[in-house]
Amino acid sequence: MTVEQTGDLGKLLALLDVERRDEDVFIGHHPEQVTARTFGGQLLGQGVVAASRSLTRGNPPIHALHAHFIRGGDVTKPMEYHVDRFRDGKSFANRQVTAKQDGEEIFTMLVAFQDNTAGLEHAVEIPQVPYPEELPPLGEHFKGYEDRIATFVNALHPVDIRFANDPSWKAKEAGRKLTDNRVWMKADGVMPDDPVMHVAAMCYASDTTVLDSIITTHGLSWGIDRLFAATVNHSMWFHREFRFDDWLLYATRSPVATGSRGMGSGRFWTRDGTLATSVVQEALIKYFPPKK
């Protein structure tokens, strides 16, 4: 089934639909709404699509990815994704994807594909939070903070995000520290049936709130406190199939921050409580407290 989408979700789907320039070279573009450097979720999503389109035997689903961010991408130029084929079996496949600009490596990622077969089954339970219909849309949390968090307000919003707790700027104002951050997420519209696009959209969204718990553990907020953050590495494990146009709960926390680096870990559950995906991200993160 082909689904035509407009608005910010349409922009995301177009963004993820990388162009094939050569057998193992793909071109990805940037959106109109850009930040100082290429958004990490964009690199993850475009890289996943490039890796998937290089498969030649069977069509195993994506099992895991491990990415390292090397340089900040130039948002005024397209990105080249070079795919190396490490293994190409019917049930297993492995790819390395390297994003380049002007001959320099921006990002590299290993992507593993594996068919799902029957085996032992267990998983941690979904946290108990209100359902997304009971929670306000993200725009409600922006009101009164538009100037201080303009980067977030003016960003691309292809994903419907419902915070089950206060976002960092509201927690900061209330003087609260949060060790856990929990948000419901789904594409802001219907997506095509291609499961790769659902994985790519989740990759994009996984980079939006995973670092929040690093700063909220200390009672800090994006846009209000002087903070610098840049992703160093990002890993994801896809346990079960899902649709990203259905609600998923993304629960994140930070197990450690040290050496100017912080780690965020997260899990995506489907609405019925099925654990779909696990995420770990490490970032360079610096706080510049106000001078006394």
| C-alpha to C-alpha distance for 107 and 278, rounded to whole angstroms | 21
DSSP summary character for residue 24: T
Name the catalytic one among 108, 231, 270, 277. Answer: 231
Active site residue 96: no
| C-alpha to C-alpha distance for 181 and 208, rounded to whole angstroms | 12
Active site residue 281: yes
Strand ranges of the sheet holding 275-287, from the earlier edge strand across to the other edge: 19-22, 25-28, 79-88, 92-101, 104-114, 62-69, 227-238, 275-287, 261-270, 248-258, 180-187, 159-163
Active site residue 151: no
| C-alpha to C-alpha distance for 247 and 162, rounded to whole angstroms | 10
End-to-end CA distance of the chain: 60
Name the catalytic one among 8, 160, 188, 207. Answer: 207
CA nearest neighbour of 194 among 31, 48, 38:
48
Active-site residue set: 207, 231, 281
